[in-house]
Amino acid sequence: MSRKLIVLAMCSFALSACSSAPATDETAAEPATPTASFDWFEYTGNDPAFSEPPGPDGYLNPILAGFYPDPSVTRGPDGYYLVHSTFSYFPGIPVFHSKDLVHWEQIGNVIDRPGMLDFDGLGLSRGVFAPTIEYHDGVFYVANTCVDCGGNFIVTATDPAGPWSDPVWLPEVGGIDPSLFFEEDGSVWIMNNDEPPGGSTYPGHRAIWFRQIDPGTFQSISEPNVLINGGVRLEDEPIWIEGPHIYHVGDWYYLSAAEGGTAVDHSQVVLRSKELTGPYEPYENNPILTQRHLPADRANPITSVGHADLVQDADGDWWATFLGVRPYEGDLYNTGRETFLMPVEWKNGWPVILEGEEEVHYNMDTLPAPLGKIGYHIPETGNFTLREDFDGEALPFHWMTLRVPQSEWWALEDGSLELRARPVELGSGEQPSYLGRRQQHQNAVASTQVTFSPEISGDEAGLAVLQSDEYFYALGLTVSDTGTPEVVLRQRAGADDPLNGPLVAAAPITGGTVELKITARQDAYDFAFRTPGSDEWTVLATGLDGKVLSTQVAGGFVGATFGLYAEAGPR
């Protein structure tokens, strides 16, 4: 049976995919708990900035809207491949494929098997940071860091859709953001961010290190040396030099890295050398990409840009993928850090993305030269509606859960997604029965239909919008202490709140099936429910604070997700 993913206002098509089953079932020792059945899930995004469609020779930024940070791109034998950070979500590190750098289809996830990495006990913004992908001699390589869960590692695959190898750990490579370079003579090199020799002399003082590794074992075979200490102008005490890449173009080796941290001071800088191991001299007009100097009150701002990776199109022209954010006010955004695309112009032998007062635009008027036919794809930017009817054999690749599951608590059965309620709360910091997808718009609507028969107070299933363990709203079907079925809304807005969030509102219902809806309006969220077949929604709460779901308030590096959940009370 093929899964049908209905795309309204854009196109309709059938998409097949598979996701790995969780680890061996450990449910036998657990008490019996009810199961929630979700008939469908629908997501709609409608941002004014996307209202003007691109021309026939243009495209929209971001090319991947929503929580797709730290993009790294490579060109393989059948197109382009892109990976991103997912931190402590599972499956981790999505793999996208494209023929033209604009239209992307997710084909798998790198971290898709329990046992590859362990995120137990980690906050959602720990785990896998800033992966880099390279293709060389028939093999795809992803270098990455598992923060607080093992350090730096490399995985490989001959098919980027997977399976990927188990991690090969790099105990001698410290810090974060490892990146590979394959030299023409067959040697393999790795660079990474870490403290400079002798330690940091000011907060955020880091260096880019470089060493040769064995092509088979990936272990170090040379002493490391420093390529950049601090940044391009050490006297200014630059912070967080990271995300390095090296490109060999003509007679020069170009070293490009992010600088300034991933907030509004984020930027991209470039240096070059005639020798791979340096010394590298910085471009006098650095940075080659930033928006930190532009007025904060400009219309539809795109900020915090950087962490770029460069690639060539079919005509040999250069393009840069990089992260940025779309705040709705100040530095407030709930959609996380997103993936953007801009052309690269070579100026006097230097690659430049933007200079001066130039802005990153939503609507671009130049397309990369494609490598082949684009084909159908799920929309990842612009305004669209997606409906999932759960009638396939596996969930689409973009569904994620918090940390790594160790038991089989979800299943696709007879056109429904079944979630077993477990005694793990959304705010517990553990691995709840929760499957989510990214909020990709400032203005979005997520809705679902759930059937659930709660047995005791504490049994609950429904729809949540979640930024972290400490910050979320949960709209669910439960039963009161007196046995009355009801819809409840809970909000957790900080670590001092109860794990499952204080009660905000509740309303009695009849029957065990209900439709639930959460509407995001930039910094405000509305919550409603109705009986299936009804034309009218009952508003449970409106205009609740959405800023608590922003990165600025909640902290960390992730964006909000809309998700389906099921919890069980103590038995």
The catalytic position among 42, 70, 100, 425 is 70
Length of the chain (residues): 571
Clarify whether 242 is annotated catalytic.
yes
User: Which 8-state DSSP code applies to residue 326?
Assistant: -
Would you say 60 and 364 are in contact if contact means Cβ atoms under 8 Å apart?
Answer: yes
- What gap in Å lies between CA 117 and CA 403, rounded to an integer? 10
Task: Report strand pairing: 289-290 vs 471-479.
Answer: unpaired
Scanning 208-364, the segments in alpha helix (DSSP H) are none
pLDDT the model gives residue 76: 96
pLDDT the model gives residue 377: 82
Residue 318: exposure state from Cβ atoms within 10 A (0-12, 13-18, ≥19): middle
Clarify whether 223 is annotated catalytic.
no
pTM value is: 0.94
pLDDT the model gives residue 31: 77
pLDDT the model gives residue 256: 98
Count the Cβ atoms, other than its own, within 10 Å of residue 32. 10
Would you say 340 and 445 are in contact if contact means Cβ atoms under 8 Å apart?
Answer: no
Measured CA to CA in angstroms, residue 498 lies from 288, 380, 426, 433 at distances of 46, 35, 11, 18
The rounded radius of gyration (Å) of the Cα atoms in the chain is: 24
pLDDT the model gives residue 406: 92
pLDDT the model gives residue 16: 31
Residue 294: exposure state from Cβ atoms within 10 A (0-12, 13-18, ≥19): middle
Is-cis flag, bond preceding 279, omega within 30? yes
Task: Identify the residue whose tokens are 């964006």.
Answer: 559
- What gap in Å lies between CA 294 and CA 286, rounded to an integer? 16
- What gap in Å lies between CA 344 and CA 320, rounded to an integer? 6
pLDDT the model gives residue 30: 67
Would you say 173 and 220 are in contact if contact means Cβ atoms under 8 Å apart?
Answer: yes
pLDDT the model gives residue 571: 87
Task: Show pLDDT as tens, one digit a residue, over the chain (571 residues).
Answer: 333 333 333 332 222 333 434 444 444 566 799 999 999 999 999 999 999 999 889 999 999 999 999 999 999 999 999 999 999 999 999 999 999 999 999 999 999 999 999 999 999 999 999 999 999 999 999 999 999 999 999 999 999 999 999 999 999 999 999 999 999 999 999 999 999 999 999 999 999 999 999 999 999 999 999 999 999 999 999 999 999 999 999 999 999 999 999 999 999 999 999 999 999 999 999 999 999 999 988 999 999 999 999 999 999 999 999 999 999 999 999 999 999 999 999 999 999 999 988 999 999 999 999 998 887 788 999 999 999 999 999 999 999 999 999 999 999 999 999 999 999 999 999 999 999 999 999 999 999 999 999 999 999 999 999 999 999 999 999 999 888 999 999 999 999 999 888 999 999 999 899 999 999 999 999 999 999 989 999 999 999 999 999 999 999 999 999 999 999 999 8
The catalytic position among 42, 194, 242, 313 is 242
